[in-house]
Chain A
């Protein structure tokens, strides 16, 4: 048999074989890799979310940040009690502007509000809150 008789067919067959190998290689990679990759990607996403949540709700600098709530109004209006990672504060006779500023600041902080009370007293407001971080 003269191999040259079928040289062209042989070349095409080899190229076809190579293409089929590539196709099966790709499919194998997809079927074995996709499930694993999706699972790993999900784990990475969860991990990043966890790190972000931990950073937000367990901020080590929060103890210093909450101190500015004491200075937001004149000292005569504040009764301040901070123990460890817990804070209890009572504010008396706040005008609406001071109330707004206080509430906005509290809400912008990543702290766990345990209790928040606002009472109108004639034209002023009394505020009491407890929170931890």
Chain B
């Protein structure tokens, strides 16, 4: 199985050819019997422009019942337009024993006009010749008696040809192929990028950890870190609690309330508020309960006493 189409055997296809029995794939060169040729000198710069106008150039020349494709290329100052019916060609090849899957590329004799330096015989009655750079079929009797026919071989293979898309039983059209392949490739790209991102994130986090370890060599050991963390977390928690209590108690001082005494240590605190009257003391008790100081109670002389553990 060769992946290079041009290295295959080149077979000249003409209406009177013999039936073939092929065991391998071949490239096909078609005689003018299978295509319509037009040469035009047009002020066009790009190939796509020429391709766009190809169908209009053949208006009135081709049978409407057929579906034509076009091969366009430039030769010196002229644009060469070749119209062909791929289905008709395919049917012809099948009738000659050439299965669609055995066809590599299809070429047109006109593409190899420069190779037709001498006539190529098509059976016993006709010959393929190049006249004024146009490959045509002429009767053999019209040939000059002195001219010698050349053998048609692979050297006639042009550089570019037509891949018979749709001529054989492919399940997917070219458009469907491009669409599906693009869809899958897009997702493939997204998956790879996402995968790379995850991998990169993990790496970045590890680098960050290493940087921290380098900056703090004393914390290299996990055991040391856990020990220090436990110590400072306890300190942080306790000290925040002490400050929160002082802040809450300060917020309970309003008109008619004075701090009589306050004492705070590592384990507990107690406070005595001197209230101006019983009403103020009662209100203070309510405030204390709201702040979850449930031990708050009124002592003699409108003194509110709170004593809690930390």
Contacts and interface: CB of A to CB of B under 8 A. Distances in A.
Given A2-B101, A47-B212, A118-B259, A11 B181 contact: yes
A26 interface: yes
**B interface: dominant SS:** helix
A19 interface: yes
Interface stretch (A29-37, A64-72, A75-83, A84-92): A29-37
Contact of B229 (A16, A44, A50, A103): A50
Contacts of A27: 195
Given A48-B212, A120-B274, A18 B185 contact: yes
Nearest to A39: B205
Nearest to A117: B263
A57 to B, nearest CB: 5
A113 to B, nearest CB: 5
B258 A57 contact: no
B260 A116 contact: no
B235 A57 contact: yes
A57 B192 contact: no
A21 interface: yes
A22 B216 CA distance: 39
A93 to B, nearest CB: 15
Interface stretch (B60-68, B138-146, B164-172, B291-299): B164-172
Contacts of A9: 170-172
A107 B238 CA distance: 13
Given A15-B181, A113-B239, A25 B191 contact: yes
Nearest to A118: B262
Given A2-B102, A43-B209, A113-B264, A21 B188 contact: yes
A6 to B, nearest CB: 7
A15 B274 CA distance: 84
B232 A33 contact: no
B187 A57 contact: no
Nearest to B172: A8
A6 B171 CA distance: 8
A114 B265 contact: yes
Contact of B104 (A4, A12, A14, A120): A4
A37 B171 contact: no
B163, B169, B191: most-surrounded residue (chain A CB, <10 A) = B191
Contacts of A114: 265-266
A41 interface: yes
Contacts of B187: 19, 22-23
A114 B1 CA distance: 90
B177 A12 contact: yes
Given A53-B236, A116-B262, A120-B261, A30 B170 contact: no
Interface stretch (B84-92, B114-122, B128-136, B196-204): B196-204
B79 to A, nearest CB: 28
Contacts of B263: 115-118
B7 to A, nearest CB: 13
A40 interface: yes
B202 to A, nearest CB: 4
B263 to A, nearest CB: 5
Given A4-B101, A36-B202, A41-B205, 12 more contacts: A11-B181, A37-B198, A48-B212, A51-B212, A58-B232, A107-B246, A107-B247, A115-B265, A116-B265, A117-B263, A118-B262, A120-B259
A-B interface, 6 closest residue pairs, ranked by CB to CB distance from nearest: A22-B191, A15-B184, A26-B195, A53-B232, A8-B177, A22-B188
28 contacts: A1-B101, A2-B25, A2-B102, A4-B104, A5-B169, A9-B172, A12-B184, A15-B185, A19-B191, A22-B191, A29-B196, A29-B199, A30-B198, A33-B198, A33-B201, A44-B208, A44-B212, A50-B232, A53-B236, A54-B232, A56-B236, A57-B239, A103-B246, A112-B239, A115-B265, A116-B246, A120-B258, A120-B260
